[in-house]
Amino acid sequence: MKILEEYGIEEDPRLKIAFKEMLMTFGLCIVYSLTTLAMDWSIGMSKPPQEYSYILGFPTWFFLGIIVCPLVFFCVVVFLVTRVFKDMSLEPWLSEKKGKEGK
Amino acid sequence: MEITYPAALGVFFAFLAILVGITVYSGRIMAAVKVDKYVADFYTAGRGLGAVVIAMMIAAGLCSAGTFLGGPGLIWQLGAAFALIGVAQVFMNFYVLGEFGKKIGIIARRINAQSLVDLFMYRYEKNKAVVIGTVIVMFVFLGAYASAQFVGGARILEVMTGFPYFWGLLLYGGIVVLYTTFGGLRGTALAILVQGSIMTIASLILMFAGVHHMGGVEATFRTIVERTPDFVTPSGSAHLSLAYIASLWITFGLCIAVLPHGLMSTMVYKSTKALHRAILIGGGLVLLWTIGLTIMCGVAGRALSPELAVPDYNLPFLAFASLPPAVAGLALAGVAGAIQSTVGVMLIVISSALVKNVYSTYIKPNASAALMKKVTMGATAGIGVIVFGLAFSAPPALEMIIIFAIGGLASAFFAPLLAMYWPRGNQYGAIAAIFGGMIYYIIGKRFAPSIALGMDPIAMSVLLSIILMVVVSLLTPKPSKETIQLFWGKSKV
């Protein structure tokens, strides 16, 4: 953010938070992708389909990867959104020079 | 023509009748809007949309015929590999809103943005090449995407009920054009509520009925393993490579956040509370639709029908085999809802780009409010008719066109959108990224697959577009102070 200093611009704290939340979202997206792909591929390709074992009627890799994994990560999403993500005002500008202080 | 399953067709028409009601109702609301506020209200619905509408707008807007028709079709064709690809999309609401919701929500209120094009226009110093490139990419890829949707829906209606393709297309395509033209985003949002609900009901019923019809979950899988064992492996009956599957995870996971019709929601939600709740509601909906409908019905359909003329028939065949015709009609309505909700938002997005960013910026900057109202409605109807006309030449596999369209849109827009968070990015970087990414993707997809290194070209084209954005920006002057103030600053100067 060197460029903001050069121009002498004070960053909007809400947009700073937005940036952090963007990084968290990207992070979760990448962890979810890697976990699911790696787990499913390593379990599912380890033996021929005729020898698959089943959990609740699903082949093991299918149950873990297609049903459990998305649900577990959904819990992480719920945690992030309810506990970590911040509420903020959507007023265009925080402090208008002429009027009174924004929210 | 010979109509089979009149009861199913009846349910389908009842669903269309509700949408006609919405057209009339929202048309009345829009008719009461003052003429000078008309255009802004038409495209943003006063930026006051709540959690449920926003959740459904993203979920039903991004889950199209791909989730309800093409997905089960590809599972039938490629095997469980496509189930593994399908779960990439389940957090689409989180990706769209978590990555861009707050930033775009605030900036859109600063610059009064109606679409992605507005954002790019202000972020990239009102550069003409950026605006024109963005509009072209949106028009070409969203147009192809939207028209593929109509095709899929009308064809299914014809196959399942004997209702002629032409009239099917005219009927429910026509309704989309009507409610977008007369109701703007308000009509579209109301329709999405109905469509999303039908999609949810259809998913719930079909998931249980389909699997039950095949004798339960384990029996379904064992039936398939006996016939085609490879179907149930992560690599599937088509023996897809891990690299190829990973590249489609990029398409449906990482890149789904940058589609213009999904991003529409980030400009029109009313509060961050609504935004957070929309992530949770949307997550639940997409989980149900993807795992319950696309994946479980796709697998059950494969167990039911080892032979199909066209893979996309998988889901409707399962519906009519496992349910009484009137209830199976709900499945047809669910498919239609998935299609219409997507096309509706797309029409609004394309129309906004043409009216605000092309017409009122370059063609007639000082048009009167009354004229703008006419242009807005005319352009929306016109685009609907064009998309609709394209649908009369039917492409073969629906999902492939969707993958192509997402790829093209993401290749062009991923890097310029990320630079909403990178102050040093400038218009020259954006031009290089938009055109470079798109051209590389089209070449890799259509003419020289070898440059994609065994994957869908999306991975390479997004990477290339990010590199172009960074390198070209660093070699050219930094953005103006006004732009930085607008996109990062705390107070108006």
User: Is the alpha carbon torsion for B56, B62, B63, B69 positive or negative?
Assistant: positive
Q: Do B83 and A93 touch (CB under 8 A)?
A: no
Phi-psi label, residue A21: left if phi above 0, alpha if psi -120 to 50, beta otherwise? alpha
Q: Do B103 and A18 touch (CB under 8 A)?
A: yes
d(CA B314, CA B302): 7
- Based on its alpha-carbon atoms, the radius of gyration of chain B, rounded to whole angstroms, reads 22
d(CA B357, CA B379): 13
Residue spans per domain, chain A:
14-102
Q: Name the residue among B100, B404, B135 with its Cα closest to residue B262.
A: B100
Predicted confidence at residue A99, as pLDDT, reads: 45
Which residue type, as a one-letter code, is found at position A38?
A
Q: Name the residue among B104, B69, B134 with its Cα closest to residue B421.
A: B104
**Chain A positions in Cβ-Cβ contact with residue B254 (cut-off 8 Å):** 29-30, 33
Is the pLDDT assigned to residue B151 strictly greater than 90? no
Interface contact A5, partner B, CB < 8 A: no
Predicted confidence at residue B394, as pLDDT, reads: 57
Which of residues 16 through 35 in chain A touch B, CB cutoff 8 A? 17-19, 21-22, 24-26, 28-30, 32-33
Q: Label residue B10 exposed, middle or buried (CB < 10 Å: 0-12, 13-18, 19+).
A: middle
CA closest to B87 among chain A residues: A66
Summarize pLDDT for B392-428 with one digit per residue, the tens. Answer: 765 556 777 888 889 999 999 999 999 999 999 999 9
Summarize pLDDT for B323-338 with one digit per residue, the tens. Answer: 999 899 888 899 899 9
pLDDT band at A100 (very low <50, low <70, confident <90, very high): very low
Integer CA distances (angstroms), B156 to B9, B160, B202, B331, B379, in order: 12, 6, 16, 11, 29
Ramachandran angles phi, psi of B487, nearest 5°: -100, -10
Which of residues 323 through 342 in chain B touch A, CB cutoff 8 A? none
For range B106-118, the mean pLDDT:
94
For range B357-380, the mean pLDDT:
90
Interface contact B212, partner A, CB < 8 A: no
Summarize pLDDT for B118-129 with one digit per residue, the tens. Answer: 999 999 999 999
Predicted confidence at residue A103, as pLDDT, reads: 39
Is the pLDDT assigned to residue B214 strictly greater than 50? yes
